[in-house]
């Protein structure tokens, strides 16, 4: 972890562009749940929000690490599929921005933590596909029990590699997703599964730090003692090491 503010690594976090209400205002806004920001700060990093737009990827050389945050569904056209009736909230500008961030980060070997939608985007960006509505595949709604309500999922992680080396081989996590990885992209490795077989963690071997998790560690790390906290610490440490190199 960085020792003081002057050498703390800068961590970009992709965010939403949505109409939001605050005070007397209701206007278009760049926004993100505060839990992402707090998780990066607690881990010792300096968070910087990256809203959708052409300029976001140009900021990548100034960043030491990147978080691809959760959000609504990715446009199925990105993986050559027709939209399912339950695929909603598509934001083409966000897809374009985050795919550009992803590829720039991989090219520059920038440490990357991809969360929920971010993990799906990592897979789609490298040529994989998604299940568009898990309840039809699994026969249950445990991963997204109700609007605005996180589910609790037990994830078993592959021993001997991240994230198991950070979190242990079994962890209970907060999840909120109705989509998930179907066909895994070339160059990615599935390293964590829910008990129903859903892919819950992926990594890219050979890169200094690329992890994707289908759950929401930023919600669990409100408690620094929660087992998910090391994900953000590991990202910030990898970012700090890369900045020194």
* Contact by Cβ (8 Å): 198, 190: no
Catalytic residue among 15, 131, 200, 218: 218
Contacts of 215 (CB under 8 A, 6+ apart): 115, 116, 153, 155, 173, 174, 175, 200, 228
116 is catalytic: yes
Catalytic residue among 131, 177, 178, 216: 216
Catalytic residue among 116, 131, 178, 219: 116
Longest dimension (CA), the chain: 52
Distance CA 48, CA 60 (A): 11
175 is catalytic: no
* Contact by Cβ (8 Å): 173, 217: yes
Q: Which residues are catalytic?
A: 116, 216, 218
């Amino acid at each position: 972890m960085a020792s003081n503010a002057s050498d703390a690594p800068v961590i970009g976090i992709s965010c939403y562009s949505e109409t939001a209400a605050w005070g007397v205002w209701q206007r278009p806004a760049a926004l993100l749940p505060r839990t992402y920001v707090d998780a990066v700060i607690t881990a010792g990093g300096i968070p910087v929000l990256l809203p959708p737009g052409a300029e976001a990827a140009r900021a990548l050389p100034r960043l030491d690490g990147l978080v691809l945050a959760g959000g609504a569904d990715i446009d199925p056209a990105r993986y050559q599929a027709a939209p399912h009736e339950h695929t909603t909230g598509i934001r083409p500008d966000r897809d374009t921005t985050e795919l550009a961030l992803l590829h720039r980060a991989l090219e520059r070997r920038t440490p990357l933590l991809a969360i929920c939608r971010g993990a799906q985007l990592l897979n789609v960006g490298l040529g994989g596909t998604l299940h568009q509505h898990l309840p039809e595949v699994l026969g249950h709604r445990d991963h997204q029990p109700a609007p605005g309500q996180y589910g609790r999922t037990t994830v078993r992680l592959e021993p001997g590699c991240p994230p198991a080396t950070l979190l242990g081989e079994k962890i209970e996590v907060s999840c909120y997703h109705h989509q998930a990885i179907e066909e895994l992209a070339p160059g990615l490795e599935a390293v964590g599964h829910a008990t129903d077989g859903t892919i819950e963690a992926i990594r890219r071997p050979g890169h200094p730090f690329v992890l994707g998790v289908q759950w929401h560690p930023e919600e669990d790390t409100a408690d620094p003692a929660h087992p998910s906290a090391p994900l953000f610490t590991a990202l910030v440490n990898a970012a700090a090491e890369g900045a020194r190199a």
